[in-house]
Structure 1
Amino acid sequence: MIITIHQKKLSIGDQYDIALNGAPKYTASRAVLQWLAEIFVFDVSSKQQQLKINRRFQWFNAKYEISSGHSQCFFKTISYLKSHYQCQCAGDTYDIYAHRGRKYSIFKNNRQVAYWEHALFTWLEGDQYRITADDDSCAELLIAFCLIIDNYVYGNHGESLLTINWGYFGLEAKPFDPAWEHLKLD
């Protein structure tokens, strides 16, 4: 499964177009003038809200709540220095790891299920992400993780005409597995 997320530039608040295997599937937007971010994800065809992501107050660390019609998940920082995050959801534990460069990996119960890469350059566009995932993964949760990292790490830097993302240069809690990447692209 391939999920692409494109942030719209020059808009009031953050807005995103999200495609699943090339077909438009979701839109997302951040509530305007909120001190703590509120992000809403809607299904394109039904116009129904699928997720609500709320940032909670926490000094220096990420703390978010992901709500859908049937569940609630809690996203938090495990290691600020190594950019390791974790989400508890419906009895499952998701670990999100930043890697040197522009990649993040997602593990569900200690098994890698996805990774995403942030575009190096965007011209007249906002941030762009490409998530590669197992077909049986929950696309909405993967999207939520990416939008949370976009909000927490990159904030509102998307106002310029040219955006260059050099990536992460800090310590890694877990190195990126290039063999997994190649397996998923075949």
Structure 2
Amino acid sequence: MEILINQKSVSLTDEYQIIVDNNPKFYAISEPLKKSAKINVYNLHDKKLIAKIAKQNFGIRANYLIQDLERNKIYSFEEINNIKLILKCQIGDDLFQLYGHNRNKYSIFKNQNQIAYWEKNNFILGEKDFYKIIANNDENPLNLASFCICVDNAKNNFQNELSLFNFDIGFKGNLLRKFDSEWKPK
């Protein structure tokens, strides 16, 4: 499965268009003028609100609550280590762990098995990021997109909102897990 997320800043909000296997499926909009981020996710076809993402603290840590309105569940998405770029989210019996890598890449594991990865564009015109998630076909695209939005929101909250061009080379350093370029989705 391929999930594309186009993020752009419009006035006082961030907007995300989410495309799953070449089909526009969801869109998300942050609420303007909030002390901490609140992002609503909608089904594109019927405009129904299906999830809410809310930042739990002010600052650079990526700690969010993801409210799945279709399942009536709330999940805690937590940054475990912001130096080694490790995040987690428990959904039912499944533990999702995200590992950041050099060059704007993240790998997503479910119960210790890799299920997806994403990469982000390095050159940004204005305030527009682009993410490409490659995942196993049986994974929930809304969960994976929500994880990506949480990381994007936490990372981009303190960038210069008025710059026309940005260049984000990603992380450089010794991170906990090396990116597996041989991994292929099922």
TM-score by length of 1: 0.91
Secondary structure at the aligned position of 1:148 is classed as helix
- TM-superposed CA distance for 1:136, in Å, is 0.4
- TM-superposed CA distance for 1:80, in Å, is 2.0
Matched residues in 2 for 1:58 and 1:16: separation?
A: 21
Q: State the identity as a percent.
A: 33
- Name the residue aligned to 1:151: 153
Tell me if structure 1 keeps the 8 A contact 2:118–2:131. yes
- TM-superposed CA distance for 1:142, in Å, is 0.3
TM-score by length of 2: 0.91
Matched residue pairs, number?
183
Counterpart residue identity of residue 17, structure 2? D
Matched residues in 2 for 1:80 and 1:123: separation?
A: 26
**What aligned pairs does 1:17-166 form with structure 2 within 5 A after superposition?**
17-57=17-57, 61-69=61-69, 70=71, 71-124=73-126, 126-155=128-157, 157=159, 159-166=162-169
- TM-superposed CA distance for 1:98, in Å, is 0.4
Task: Write out per-residue CA displacement over residues 36-89 of structure 1, whole angstroms, 9 at most, x where no aligned residue.
Answer: 111111010010111101111266532211001222111111112201001111
Matched residues in 2 for 1:11 and 1:121: separation?
A: 21
Tell me if structure 1 keeps the 8 A contact 2:5–2:17. yes
Secondary structure at the aligned position of 1:179 is classed as coil
- TM-superposed CA distance for 1:173, in Å, is 1.6
Secondary structure at the aligned position of 1:152 is classed as helix
**Structure 1: segments with no counterpart, 5+ residues:** none
- Name the residue aligned to 1:174: 177
**Structure 2: segments with no counterpart, 5+ residues:** none
- TM-superposed CA distance for 1:90, in Å, is 1.4
The structure with the greater share of residues assigned to strand is 2
- Change in CA separation of 1:116 and 1:159 when aligned onto 2, cut-off 3 Å: farther
Tell me if structure 2 keeps the 8 A contact 1:120–1:166. yes
| RMSD over aligned Cα atoms | 1.8
